Structure 1
Amino acid sequence: MVVRTTEVADPGPLLELLPEDGAPMTWVRRGEGVVGWGEAARFDTVGANRFVAADRWWRRMVATAVVRDEVRLPGTGPVAFGSFAFDDVPGASSLVLPEMVVGHRAGRWWVTTVSVSGNLPGLADLPAVSQARRPRDITFSDGSRTGTEWESIVAEGVRRINAGELEKVVLARDLVAEGTEPIDRRWPIQRLAERYPRCWTFSVDGLIGATPELLVRRERGLITSRVLAGTIRRTGDDARDLALAASLARSSKDLEEHEYAVRSVADALAPFCSSMNVPETPFVLHLPNVMHLATDLAGVTDDDASSLALAAALHPSAAVGGTPTKDAGELIREIEGLDRARYAGPVGWLDADGDGEWGIALRCAEIDPDNAARMRLFAGCGIVAGSDPEAELAESAAKLVPMRDALSV
C-alpha cells in the first residue's frame, strides 16, 4: 500500500464533495472531519473476536505501507472507516480503506490518495460537485414491533429490574422507511449535518446517522469520551425547554440512569489511563429535538492501544446495553425481538498511529443491502426501575425524528 497526503486550499464543504456514485464515508462535526470514497481495501469480520481481528488487520496494513504525509495531523495518511455490530452474533462488521480521503481541521485541508498497486498515487482531482437527489415518496411503517408491542417489552424490562435481576437495560425499536427509487445517501447525510451540527454525522458501509455520543477519541496520548444517558423531549418553546432542562438535571430516575453509564465508561477506560478526570455532575446537552444529561471524561495514556481497541473495551457501555452488562445483554436477546445489526455499535475512523474517533451508532438508519430504496431506522431507551412504558415510547419517537426528518422533503 502506498499513501500520499497533500495539503490543499479550501475545497468547500466536505459533505458537498461526495460523488454521486460509490458508497460515501463520512465523519464530520461542525464542518470539520474526514470524508472518503472508493475502496482500496476492506476487512469484514463477525463474532466476539471482531474488534481484535480488525485491529490486527489494520496494524498489518499500515506496518508495510509506504506513506508520504505532508500534513502530519490526526486523520492524515492512511485512514480506515469502520462500523461494528452491536452483538457478537449475528451481525457483520467492517473496516474500509477509501481510495481517496479529504479532511479539514483547524483551518487546514488535505487530500489523501491510496494505491494498492505499489506505485505512488498521483494528485487526484476532486470529483465535480453534484446536487444530492431528494428522496421520493418515502413512507414509514412499523419495524419488528408495533408501538404497543414495544411498550409491553418495556414493561417486562421494568418488571425484571424490580425483581432484582439487573439495574438497567437499554431496549431498542426500529422503523422502516421506503421510497419509490433508490435513496441518494448524500441527501440524509447533508440534512443531518445541517440540522445537528453538534453531532458527529457518519456514513460507513450503508450505515448513516448523526450521533451525539462520542464513545472514545484517542489523540496523541489524550483519551476523551462523552457519555449521554437521561433524555427529555424539547417542546420548541424556549422558556418551557429551560424548565424541562432543569427538571432533567434533578430527575432521580435520569440521574440514576446516567450514573450507571458514566461508571461503566470510567471503569473500562481506567486500565488504559495513568490519570483520569470524571466530573461529579453532568451537564444538559441541548439538541434540536431532545436534551440529554451528558458527562465528558478525559484521561492520559501511555498505552499503545489503538482507538479501535479502546472502543472495543468500552463496548457495550451501560448507555446502550445496561447494568450489569452481561445480565442486560442476556435480557436484550431474550425480550427485545430485534436484530440491532450495527445500531448502537462503534462507528468511526482510525489512522496509522492508532489515533481516531469512535462514536456510538445512534440516531441512525441502515440501507437495506438488497433494496436501496429501503432503510431501517433505530432508536433505544434506557430502562430503570422508575421507567414508564408510554413515556419511553414517546422518547423513542423523539429519537427517531432526526432520521425521519432527514428522509422527508
Structure 2
Amino acid sequence: MIEILEEQLEKIIDEAIPNINSADDTQLISITKPVKNINPLHFFHAASSTGKDRVFWSSTQEDFFIAGIGNTAQLRVEGLPSQEVEKKWRAILDKAIIYNDNKVPGAGIVALGGISFDPKKERTPLWENFNDSEFTVPEFLLTQNNGANYYTVNILVRKGDIAEQVANEIRGMEEILFSDTTLPSTDVAILNRYEVAPEKWKESVELATREIDKGKASKIVLAREIRLKLNKSVNIASVLEKLLHTQPNSYIFAFEKGKDCFVGATPERLVRLDKRKLLSTCLAGTAPRGKNKEEDREISKSLLHDEKNRQEHEFVVQMIKQAISHYCKDINIPEKPVIYPLKNLQHLYTPVTATLLGDYSIFDIIEQLHPTPALGGTPREESLAFIRENELLDRGWYGAPVGWLDSNGSGEFAVAIRSGLIQDDEASLFAGCGVVKNSDPEKEYEETNIKFLPMLSVLGG
C-alpha cells in the first residue's frame, strides 16, 4: 500500500458506504496523491499477471505518460460519441467523491479510449472486442507529468461492502503494481507476412482517381492491411518500450481488450484541450527521411514545394478552420507549413490554436474534426461513401480518434495511424494514403510501405 494513502483509505471508504441508497447503487471514490518516481512502463508491465485490461498513453515530447490498470467505469455508445458520451462522463463526475489537490492534467478521474473510424461500415470479427465508442476509467492510474509522478485509485463501492476488505484488495493489487520489475526481452520475429489483396488495393486507387476526375471528390484516403504471424506471443510493454525509443515525436498508445491490444505510434494530434485553450494540428503531406543530412534537407525542400502534398495539406488546414469556427474564438493559423520530422518519415505541419466557447466540450470538436481530410478525404461524405464501398478492410479504431480526458478539464486525442491490432502471436498492421487527381497507384502503394515501418520495426520486421 502506498504509505500516504494507508491512513486515509479505510476511513474514506467507511464514510462513503452508509450514504449509498440501495444495493443496486454504487459510489465512485477517487484518491490522487504524488508518489516517488516509477517507470510507467514497469507499472504497466507489472499488471500483466493480474488479468486486468491495461491502457497506456504517452507524449514523449512533453514528458507525459499515463498507465491505467483495470476498469472502474465504462462509457459506451453506438456510433460517434457526440453528446451522449459527454453526458455519461458528466454523470460520473457529478456523483464521484474526488480527493485530488494537484489538478495535474491526466491525474484523478481519467477516461481513456477511442471510437471507430466509421460506425456505418460493416463490422468484421477482427475488431469484435472494440466498441464503436468506448472509454474506460481505470481502477489504478499512474501519471507522469514533467518528471513528477501521481498515483490515483478509483474505487467503486457498494452498499454492504466492508471498508477493511475493500482496502485489503487494493493493497494486494498495489503490492503487484509497485513491485520491482524488469521488462522482458524483445526478440519477437516475423514468421510470415501476408499482404491483403495488394493488387485489388491498387485497383481501388485507380478507381478513386477516376471518381475524382469526374468531380465527385477532391481527395479519397484509402488504407490497406498486412497480417503478421509471429514466433511468440507479443509482450505489449516491450513493444511500447521500442516505440518510445524509435518514435520520439509521436503519441505512443495501447488499448488492451482481453487478448487483443490496439497499439501505435502516431504523430498526428487531433485536438488538445487545457481548460478552454485548444490546440489542433494539421499533419498531411508525407516524404521519407534522407540517408544523410544533405539528402534529408533536399527531400524536405522538395516536400515543401510539392504540389500534390501541399494541396493535400491545405485540404486539412481549411477543414480544421471551418470545423472549429462555430465552437471557438481567437483562431490562429500560420500562413505556411513547416517540416515535422520522424524517424522514418517527415510531414508537412501546421498548428492551429483557439479558445473553446461556452459549454462546448472536447467531444464537440472531435465530432467536427473526424475524419480529417488526411484520413477520410474531401468532401467528407462523398469520400466516406467511397471508402465504405470500396476499401478492403474494416478499419475499426485505425485512423480514428484515441485519447483521454480528465476531471480537471483537460484532455487530448490523436488520430490512430502508424498502428496495429496485436492478437497474441499475430497482428494486423494498417497504413493508408491520400488519393488525389494525379495519384499513381504504384507510388501510393510504396508510400503505404513506408508508413508500415514504425510498427514493423518493433515486431521484428
Taking structure 2 as the reference length, the TM-score comes to 0.83
| Residues 1:78 and 2:109 aligned together | yes
Using the alignment, how far apart are the partners of 1:191 and 1:23 within structure 2? 21
Report matched runs for 1:227-376 at 5 Å. Answer: 227-368=282-423, 372-376=424-428
SS of alignment partner, residue 207 of structure 1: strand
- Gaps in structure 1 of 5+ consecutive residues: none
Report matched runs for 1:165-180 at 5 Å. Answer: 165-180=216-231
| Residues 1:68 and 2:99 aligned together | yes
Counterpart of 2:154?
A: 114
SS of alignment partner, residue 202 of structure 1: strand
Using the alignment, how far apart are the partners of 1:295 and 1:311 within structure 2? 18
Contact 2:192–2:230 under 8 Å retained in 1: no
Counterpart of 1:9?
A: 36
Following TM superposition, the consecutive aligned residue runs of length 4 or more in structure 1 with deviations greater than 6 angstroms are: 119-123
Using the alignment, how far apart are the partners of 2:368 and 2:410 within structure 1? 15
Counterpart of 1:34?
A: 66
Counterpart of 1:184?
A: 235
Amino acid at match of 2:370: H
Amino acid at match of 1:317: T
| Residues 1:395 and 2:430 aligned together | no
Once the two structures are TM-superposed, the CA of residue 34 in structure 1 deviates from its matched residue by: 1.4
Amino acid at match of 2:454: P
Once the two structures are TM-superposed, the CA of residue 387 in structure 1 deviates from its matched residue by: 1.5
Once the two structures are TM-superposed, the CA of residue 394 in structure 1 deviates from its matched residue by: 0.9
Using the alignment, how far apart are the partners of 1:286 and 1:260 within structure 2? 21
Contact 2:142–2:150 under 8 Å retained in 1: yes
Contact 2:191–2:231 under 8 Å retained in 1: no
Counterpart of 1:150?
A: 201
Using the alignment, how far apart are the partners of 1:3 and 1:54 within structure 2? 20
Counterpart of 1:383?
A: 435
SS of alignment partner, residue 42 of structure 1: strand
> 1 or 2, which has the higher helix percentage?
2
Amino acid at match of 2:430: F
- Using the TM superposition, name which of 133-142 and 97-106 deviates more: 133-142
Taking structure 1 as the reference length, the TM-score comes to 0.93
Contact 1:24–1:185 under 8 Å retained in 2: no
Contact 1:218–1:306 under 8 Å retained in 2: no
Using the alignment, how far apart are the partners of 2:349 and 2:148 within structure 1? 30
Larger radius of gyration: 2
Amino acid at match of 2:241: Q
Aligned to 2:79, which of 40, 43, 47? 47
Using the alignment, how far apart are the partners of 2:74 and 2:182 within structure 1? 27
SS of alignment partner, residue 326 of structure 2: helix
Contact 1:305–1:354 under 8 Å retained in 2: no
Once the two structures are TM-superposed, the CA of residue 43 in structure 1 deviates from its matched residue by: 3.0
Contact 2:68–2:139 under 8 Å retained in 1: yes
Once the two structures are TM-superposed, the CA of residue 15 in structure 1 deviates from its matched residue by: 2.1
Cα RMSD (Å) of the superposition? 1.9
Using the alignment, how far apart are the partners of 1:29 and 1:249 within structure 2? 26
1:128-147 Cα distance to aligned partner (Å, 9 max, x none):
2231353544234335322x
Using the alignment, how far apart are the partners of 1:135 and 1:37 within structure 2? 25
- Using the TM superposition, name which of 172-181 and 124-133 deviates more: 124-133
| Residues 1:197 and 2:248 aligned together | yes
Return closer, same or farther for 1:365/1:135 CA change in 2, 3 Å cut-off: farther
SS of alignment partner, residue 458 of structure 2: helix
Once the two structures are TM-superposed, the CA of residue 84 in structure 1 deviates from its matched residue by: 0.8
Amino acid at match of 1:111: Y
Using the alignment, how far apart are the partners of 1:305 and 1:27 within structure 2? 25
Return closer, same or farther for 1:360/1:209 CA change in 2, 3 Å cut-off: same
**Would you say how many aligned residue pairs link Structure 1 and Structure 2?**
403
Once the two structures are TM-superposed, the CA of residue 41 in structure 1 deviates from its matched residue by: 2.0
Return closer, same or farther for 1:271/1:33 CA change in 2, 3 Å cut-off: farther
Counterpart of 2:25?
A: none
